[in-house]
Amino acid sequence: MNLRYFPHTDEDVREMLAVVGAESIDALFEAIPAECRRERPLDLPPPLDEWELTRRLEEMAAEGGGDWRAFVGAGSQPHHIPAIVPALAGRSEFLTAYTPYQPEISQGTLQAIFEFQTLIARLTGLAAANASLYDGATAMAEAALMAMRIQGKRNVAVSGLAHPHWREVLATYLAPLADVKLLVLPAGTDGRTDLARLAELPDPAVLAMQSPNFLGVFEDLPAAAEKIHAAGGLLAAGFSEPFALGLARSPGDLGADIAFGEGQSLGLPQSFGGPGLGLLAAREEYVRQMPGRLVGETVDNRGRRGFVLTLATREQHIRRARAVSNICSNAGHCALTAAVFMAAIGGSGFRKTAQANLDLAEYFKAGLLKAGFKALSPAPTFNEFALRAPDWFATRHAALRKKRILAGLSLAGYYPEFPDAWLFGVTEYIGKAGIDALLGEIKP
């Protein structure tokens, strides 16, 4: 059934204003400062009939989506989602389940979150994971705040090769806090973070890094762990592509104390940029400083297996002064979907998908190098990589956009030191045929 639009008549407006006690529409917005209000009418086209409006909306939808092919990830990846995932996650029991504030009436939701936490803990190699956060950006910021509470310190170091948008969110989180110093470590010549600059930050609480980083390069996490631990801080290691952990060792195995990341690849469609799925895990001794919620397993008074909201460290559950964070969990259905996805493909499917992504990326990279691109870094990458482009590529990139092909992302706006570098990415969703088609278009 379609929901139709019915405009309000002048009489409707007068009746509603009378109910709320306002003299006019403008009076409803008097609380908003005048400089923030738009005084002139919107520049809109004339009204359309319903069928004309429907046609125009379809045209606009085609302009923004349609058969676009994107060869870049940069924090959001297109992956194949098995049909069983939306079929199970879309069941009414899950879509209408109540938020688990009262565990006794939401056992199914609690169990789904418990399974999600277990899978994320296994993926990250750490003891405990929470019930998800908003996205990778807020997960990194919360990981840094968590480390600051654990260490009782105020200074934070972050890799300049972590996602630029994530770093902006972290800086926004830290801006209101007094006596906090944020040091951004620059990129080294090998495409990895320059860890030598960490010595410039006195008494750091945490070093936050992303591996693979924004250039697609695997960071040397053991070296980072050694340096930050020697300085008396913790290592928070993150990722924007969880499938990289299908082949690489987990952050916990490589010395990370806290792991954070973006879980959109785990069964969630890109959906024009959202929703995301923030992942956060930590060593067991730090569990009471984790933001959000944790679900645990127990037995009831009859010995039956059950699930409870074990830890909830936000102001809604405990005294405001004792809350470790005011952040909510991610929309629980996203975490449930990720759990269904990981359970559906299993460990072997996870590794096979990861291997396919790596193989396709290396094939793509070899084709671009043959077309005249140059390697930006000799370090190993996963399914994304940065290359220096020939002079003619910017023009070719613009031409490809007109054909609904997004052939990479220019890094010049994020990293002025790499003015001619572009970020490319590929997943099994694109496949070899898609890569071959693009390479045929790119040839000079």
Q: Which pLDDT score is estimated for 1?
A: 36
Give the CA distances from residue 443 to residues 142, 373, 392, 436, in Å, rounded to whole numbers and listed in that order.
44, 11, 10, 11
Which pair of structure tokens corresponds to residue 63? Answer: 């302009």
39: Cβ contacts below 8 Å, ≥ 6 apart? none
| pLDDT classification of 2: cutoffs 50, 70, 90 | very low
DSSP state of 217: B
Checking if the pLDDT of 86 tops 60, the result is yes
How many residues would you count in the chain? 444
Q: How far apart are CA 393 and CA 205, in angstroms?
A: 43
Q: Read off the pLDDT of residues 128-181 as tens digits, 9 standing for 90 and up.
A: 999 999 999 999 999 999 999 999 999 999 999 999 999 999 999 999 999 999
User: What pLDDT is attached to residue 225?
Assistant: 98
Phi, psi of 39, rounded to the nearest 5 degrees: -90, -20
Question: Residue 295 is which amino acid?
Answer: V
Q: Does 69-80+346-442 carry CATH code 3.40.50.720? A: no
Instruction: Name which CATH class applies to 84-342.
Output: alpha beta
Q: Which residue has the higher pLDDT, 111 or 169?
A: 169
Instruction: Please compute, for residue 233, the number of CA atoms within 13 A of its CA located in the half-sphere on the CB side.
Output: 30
Domain with CATH 3.90.1150.10 in the chain: 69-80+346-442
Q: Which residue do the tokens 């060593």 mark?
A: 283
Rounded mean pLDDT of the chain? Answer: 91
Is the pLDDT confidence value at 3 over 50? no
Q: How many CB atoms lie within 10 A of CB 73?
A: 25
* Residues paired with residue 293 on neighbouring β-strands, in sequence order: 312
Q: How far, in whole angstroms, is CA 420 from its chain's centroid?
A: 26
| pLDDT exceeds 90 at position 58 | no
Report whether 106 contacts 93 (CB < 8 A).
no
* 61-65, 141-145, 200-204: least confidently modelled range: 61-65
Q: Is the peptide bond before 212 cis (omega within 30 degrees of 0)?
A: yes
Q: What pLDDT is stored for residue 105 in this prediction? A: 64
Helix (H) or strand (E) holding 343: helix 332-370
Helices (H), 125-193: 136-151, 164-174
Helix (H, G, I), strand (E, B) or coil at 25: helix
Which residues belong to CATH 3.40.640.10 in the chain?
A: 84-342
Q: In what order do the strands lie in the sheet with 421-425?
A: 374-375, 384-388, 421-425, 409-410
Per residue in 348-395, pLDDT tens? 999 999 999 999 999 999 999 999 999 999 999 999 999 999 999 999
Q: Which residue has the higher pLDDT, 311 or 176?
A: 176
